[in-house]
């Protein structure tokens, strides 16, 4: 047996010398005014992401919350450079350690992806290759980014699967994705993402396809990772419960723009944007008294107006009036520190929600 | 006739509320076939393996559990969309499990289902009008209407369809549209309208909101509650989201590997879950409030659901149970029993429920317990 990389805890030692010790104050990823538009030939351009900015520090978990169509997944795909070249246009800046990922060459980006930037996708069945054994899919990443022999990669892959909570990892290495349960597939996917100990991990709804008890296991695993490694994490989800337990700060997206951003305690205690407030009032809570009807947000996430004409949430908002018909509402600080809101009639500050 | 008498006797014992549905010893086993020429049965998946429950008229019974626990199969077996292997499903005095095809078809008018994925359960080539009239046709309600409206029964159908649409909150203009033209929430409303148009007694909703956007879920939940008040419906709501189930149910049954492990009024279940699985399940559900999240003590379950083809011996949960005791758990199968002494009205399938309640039996492995963080 070779003795390489059998350290019990994940540490950053033994990496290529490019990265120093983790500095938790440096900004690792900074997204500035990111815009993604999709256009079919001859058709109108649709802005899926419309000027999104936020930053992530090492050891920090930043949540991006929104419903389907809010642009949260497109944001993550754009950051990783995974959007199709044709038909989509990405502008703005995505600075990773000061380098713009959007203008970086394909080869350079391919070196970063998988080693320093990693992503966990929502549906493990469609993001794992069904005709290749799980083990090979893990070792592929290791062999691509590290100078490591096939035998060593196999040992390391086994170790990774074990640390991600997959029992009997040696047997699992030679199995195919369909032979694994949903929770195990998701853990295999996380193992692949963690293979090279990335500095930034983007999780796109990593637990949506899982049962709650398995979800709790996976979230606990991710939390440990951030604590032990100082990995920076972007958590994309529609589940406010996951955000409440996991994220340090939260960005709420609606129709391609961030409508509210705050620390998690601040956001849940004092939601200011009417959409955030509506969301919190509309979900049934396990610990709330029963018997009262929920207060739904009327309409559907599709009922939007272009941001250039008015507030996109106005058609569904109970507080909307003529003043809301203003093009390009700014994201402004309202009273509290570090709590920008994009709303004409924000919820009053003293009013507790619920 | 004998069955009528029996259910009447049962009702008087249960109290003034009439039980609309009672399920006794229900089992649904699916054979596992193997072999190229001869399909040999090599085993059975015990999807539902001995479930007893009573649902009083006008109440909502919530079934929760993780995927693969048999909750959907149980719901389908109640409507006999799956053929039960054993047991009785007594709906309003008649055993559905033994009904012949024609009486069953007639009975189905009174039992309807709302499916999870409205796009998959609505025929994409049928307009809303045609979708909603079809159940009326199938159940020959045209004949009854003809006596009232003469030959022009389609007009009365249309009137029914329009009033149903109004009830679920869709405009009349929806009649000529096709399912793909609607949003997810509207599609689910069409699915609900289709189930309700026959004026059923029992509606089984299998994950009615899990395919919908968060902001739309509340609309559909409120609609289901309003229709229940209006039409006096009895619901079985099947969902994996305990918060949704707790919100709409009067009683909740928690399933694990084909069996009910706990049954309780929904408030009591949240106040004090008694079965170790329920305790772990509740603690795993994230609550959208950081203050609560940080203070909560949580229990992690290790591993995955065992295979229902080969359930563990003794208590089915003992392989993952954080409270497992050295004796009995892996040998004796606990019965679902009412805790008359400590918690009347609640049924639990655990040998040590009383000890867990009193705190005598604790989580055995400190690793499984996640202390409050901040």
* CATH number assigned to the domain comprising residue B191: 3.40.50.300
CA of A291 to nearest chain B CA: how many angstroms apart?
Answer: 7
What is the value of ipTM here, to two decimals?
A: 0.80
Q: Which of A288, A292, A207, A283 is closest to B244 using CA atoms?
A: A283
From A241, A287, A294, residue closest to B221, measured CB to CB:
A294
Residues in chain A, pLDDT under 50: 1-20, 352-354
Q: How many helices (H) and strands (E) does chain B have?
A: 14, 14
Domain that holds residue A150: 117-197
Residue in this structure with the two tokens 């955030």, named with its chain if needed:
A276
Residue-level pLDDT at A21: 52
Give yes or no: residues B135 and B8 share one domain. Answer: yes
∠ at Cα A69 (A354, B67), nearest 5°? 70
| DSSP 3-state percent helix, strand, coil across chain A (nearest 5) | 30, 20, 50
Domain edge (last residue) among B237, B259, B281: B259
pLDDT value at residue A1: 39
In a domain, A322, yes or no: no
| Same-domain status, B165 and B280 | no
Tokens encoding B374: 């901040």
Report residue B70 as tokens: 């048999």
Which structural domain range is residue B204 located in?
A: 2-34+41-259
Q: What pLDDT sits at residue A304?
A: 85
Residue that has been written with the tokens 């640390």 in this structure: A163
Q: How far apart are CA B34 and CA A284, in angstroms?
A: 45
Contact residues, chain A, for B189 at CB < 8 Å? none
Say what the pTM is. Answer: 0.84
- The partner residue sitting opposite B66, judged by closest CB among A211, A287, A298, is A211
CB pair distance less than 8 Å for B214 and A214: no
B239 and B296, same domain (yes or no): no
Predicted confidence at residue A19, as pLDDT, reads 46
Asked if residue A74 belongs to a domain, the reply is: no
pLDDT reported for residue B373: 57
Examine residue A313 and state whether it is found in any structural domain, yes or no: no
Q: Collect all residues of chain A within an 8 Å Cβ-Cβ radius of residue B216.
A: 296-297, 300-301
**A-chain residue closest to B221, CA distance:** A294
Distances (CA, A) of B206 to A208, A283, A297, B82, B285: 18, 19, 23, 14, 20
> Which one, of A45, A293, A329, lies nearest residue A317 by Cα?
A329
Identify which of B213, B219, B285 has the shortest CB distance to residue A212. Answer: B285
Final residue of a structural domain among B259, B292, B314: B259
Say how many C-beta atoms besides its own lie within 10 A of residue B340's C-beta: 9
Residue A180 lies in a domain: yes
Report the share of chain A in percent with pLDDT over 70.
92
Task: Note whether residue A83 is domain-resident.
Answer: no
In a domain? residue B116: yes
**How many domains would you assign to chain A?**
1
Domain assignment present for B266: no
Give the pairing type, strands A45-56 and A29-39: antiparallel
Same-domain status, B75 and B30: yes
Last residue of a domain, one of B259, B283, B315: B259
- Interface contact flag, A287 B217, Cβ < 8 Å: no
**Domain shared by B107 and B189, yes or no:** yes
Interface test with A, best of B189, B218, B373 (most A CBs within 10 A): B218
Question: Does residue B264 form part of some domain?
Answer: no
Residue B243 and residue B347 share a domain? no
Q: Do A298 and B219 touch (CB under 8 A)?
A: yes
Asked if A301's CB is within 8 angstroms of B213's CB, the reply is: yes
Q: Please indicate, yes or no, whether residues B198 and B300 belong to a single structural domain of this protein.
A: no
Same domain, B252 and B286: no
Q: Is residue B300 part of a domain?
A: yes
Total structural domains within chain B: 2
Question: Cα(A149)–Cα(B125) distance, rounded to whole angstroms?
Answer: 56
Contacts of A219 in chain B (CB under 8 A): 286
By CA distance, what is B269's nearest residue in A?
A286
pLDDT of residue B4: 47
Confidence (pLDDT) at B142: 57
Decide if A286 and B270 are in contact by the 8 Å CB cutoff.
yes
**Chain A residues whose beta carbon lies within 8 Å of the beta carbon of residue B213:** 67-68, 238, 300-301
Distance from C-alpha of B187 to C-alpha of B374, rounded to nearest angstrom: 43
pLDDT averaged per 10 residues in sequence order, chain B, 374 residues: 44 60 94 81 89 94 90 93 94 91 92 89 93 88 57 73 92 92 91 94 93 88 94 93 90 94 92 92 89 85 83 92 90 90 86 88 77 60
A269–chain B nearest CA distance, Å: 8
């Amino acid at each position: 047996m070779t003795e390489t990389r059998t350290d019990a805890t994940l540490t950053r030692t033994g990496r290529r010398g490019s990265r120093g010790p983790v500095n938790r104050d440096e900004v690792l990823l900074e997204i500035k005014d990111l815009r993604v538009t999709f256009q079919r030939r001859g058709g109108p351009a649709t802005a899926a992401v419309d000027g999104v900015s936020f930053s992530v520090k090492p050891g920090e978990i930043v949540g991006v919350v929104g419903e389907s169509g809010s642009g949260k997944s497109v944001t993550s795909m754009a950051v990783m450079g995974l959007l199709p070249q044709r038909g989509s246009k990405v502008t703005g800046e995505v600075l990773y350690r000061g380098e713009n990922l959007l203008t970086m060459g394909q080869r350079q980006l391919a070196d970063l992806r998988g080693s320093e930037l990693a992503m966990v996708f929502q549906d493990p069945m469609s993001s794992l290759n069904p005709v290749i054994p799980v083990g090979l899919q893990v070792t592929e990443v290791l062999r691509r980014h590290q100078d490591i022999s096939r035998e060593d990669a196999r040992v390391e892959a086994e170790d990774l699967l074990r640390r991600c909570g997959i029992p009997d990892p040696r047997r699992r290495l030679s199995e195919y994705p369909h032979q694994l349960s949903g929770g195990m597939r998701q853990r295999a996917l996380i193992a692949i993402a963690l293979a090279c100990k990335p500095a930034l991990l983007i999780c796109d709804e990593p637990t949506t396809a899982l049962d709650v008890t398995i979800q709790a296991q996976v979230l606990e695993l991710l939390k440990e990772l951030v604590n032990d490694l100082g990995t920076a994490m972007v958590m994309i989800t529609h589940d406010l419960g996951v955000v409440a337990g996991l994220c340090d700060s939260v960005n709420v997206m609606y129709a391609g723009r961030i409508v509210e951003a705050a620390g998690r305690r601040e956001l849940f205690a004092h939601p200011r944007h009417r959409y955030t407030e509506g969301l919190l009032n509309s979900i049934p809570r396990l610990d709330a008294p029963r018997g009262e009807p929920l207060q739904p947000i009327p309409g559907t996430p599709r009922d939007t107006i272009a941001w250039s004409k008015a507030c996109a949430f106005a058609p569904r908002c109970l507080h909307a009036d003529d003043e809301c018909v203003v093009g390009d509402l700014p994201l402004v600080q309202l009273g509290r520190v570090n709590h920008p809101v994009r709303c004409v009639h924000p919820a009053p500050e003293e009013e507790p929600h619920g | 006739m004998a069955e009528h008498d029996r259910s009447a006797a049962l009702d008087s014992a249960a109290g003034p509320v009439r039980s609309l549905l009672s399920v006794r010893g229900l089992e649904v086993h699916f054979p596992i076939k193997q072999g190229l020429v001869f399909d040999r049965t090599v085993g059975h998946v015990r999807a539902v393996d001995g479930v007893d429950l009573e649902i009083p008229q006008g109440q909502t019974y919530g079934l929760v559990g993780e995927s693969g626990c048999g909750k959907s199969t149980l719901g389908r077996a109640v409507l006999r969309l799956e053929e039960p292997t054993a047991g009785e499903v007594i709906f309003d005095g008649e055993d559905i499990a033994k009904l012949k095809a024609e009486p069953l078809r007639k009975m189905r008018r009174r039992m309807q289902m709302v499916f999870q994925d409205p796009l998959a359960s609505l025929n994409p080539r049928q307009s809303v009008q045609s979708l909603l009239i079809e159940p009326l046709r199938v159940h020959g309600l045209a004949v009854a209407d003809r006596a009232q409206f003469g030959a022009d029964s389609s007009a009365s159908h249309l009137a029914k369809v329009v009033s149903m649409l109004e009830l679920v909150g869709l405009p009349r203009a929806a009649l000529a549209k096709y399912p793909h033209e609607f949003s997810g929430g509207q599609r689910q409303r069409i699915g609900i309208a289709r189930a309700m148009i026959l004026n059923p007694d029992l509606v089984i909703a299998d994950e009615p909101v899990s395919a919908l956007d968060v902001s739309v879920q509340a609309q559909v939940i409120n609609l289901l509650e309003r229709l229940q008040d209006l039409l006096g419906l009895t619901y079985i709501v099947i969902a994996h989201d305990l918060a949704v189930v707790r919100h709409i149910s009067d009683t909740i049954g928690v399933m694990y590997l084909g069996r009910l492990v706990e049954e309780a009024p929904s408030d009591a279940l949240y106040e004090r879950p008694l079965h170790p699985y329920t305790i772990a399940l509740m603690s795993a559900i994230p609550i959208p409030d950081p203050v609560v999240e940080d203070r909560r003590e949580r229990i992690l379950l290790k591993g995955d659901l065992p295979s229902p083809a080969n359930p563990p011996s003794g208590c089915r949960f003992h392989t993952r149970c954080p409270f497992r005791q050295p004796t009995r758990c892996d040998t004796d199968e606990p019965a679902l029993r009412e805790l008359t002494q400590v918690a009347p009205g609640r049924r639990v399938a655990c040998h040590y429920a009383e000890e867990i309640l009193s705190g005598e039996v604790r989580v055995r492995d400190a690793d499984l317990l996640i202390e409050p963080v901040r």
